[in-house]
Amino acid sequence: MHADGGEPQPSLSIELERCTVRPWQLTDATSMAEALNDKSVWLCVRNRIAHPYTLEHARQFLEAMAATQGPPEAFAIVVGGEAVGGVGIHPQGDVYERSAELGFWLARRHWGRGIASEAVGAAIDSAWARLPHLHRIYARCYAHNAGSQAVLRKLGFQQEGRLRQAAFKDGQLVDELAFGLLRPEWEQRRRQQQQQEGSQHGAAG
């Protein structure tokens, strides 16, 4: 993808083995509403995502995404042609200008298949490439959300703390876990993966 008159930019649509990560489209409303209108999913996200989650909620979100100026920060996770999840990496400001917050969700029927790890990893790769000043990506998830914790740890995030009773979700005070990942850590991890892949190919040859 090329910006008008500028240098080539990293593609905003990423084809992966299990899924595709791409900008949201207005036609995603039905599949998005179906995926998010699930209390198991809602229990893992913030309350700005309504419950029940209706087709109108999805349309309002997608219209807002379409009206956003500049490069998108939120992307759909697409499986079998349907948007079944979302991932966003949101740059911060002020003294946190070199940090970005990561958030993601996935339809329950696709949990445990490696889709979230693949999609989030690709989104992180894209963020480092698009935002050369970015140094740190962080995420917070509820202590009961074991799935998201597993995804973050698999991708090399370190747990940096536990915020006791920091969130009020579904009528209860719940702990949040704070995770962080630095660019040098991610780059080292990628180099190690490439070396392992090279060794495997060499052994196979």
Q: What is the mean pLDDT of each successive set of 10 residues along the chain, which is 205 residues long?
A: 39 90 97 98 97 98 91 94 98 98 98 98 96 98 98 98 98 99 96 83 60
Two tokens, residue 98 = 């070199």
- Burial (0-12, 13-18, 19+ Cβ within 10 Å), 36: buried
pLDDT at 202: 65
The reported pLDDT for the residue numbered 7 is 40
pLDDT at 91: 97
Residue ranges of domains in the chain, CATH in brackets: 14-204 (3.40.630.30)
Q: What does pTM read for this prediction? A: 0.89
Sign of CA dihedral 39, 43, 46, 47: positive
Specify the pLDDT at position 10.
Answer: 45
Looking at residue 205, its pLDDT comes to 56
CB neighbours of 80 closer than 8 A, spacing ≥ 6? none
At 71 the pLDDT is 81
DSSP of 88-153? EEEE--GGGTTEEEEEEEE-GGGTTSSHHHHHHHHHHHHHHHH-TT--EEEEEEETT-HHHHHHHH
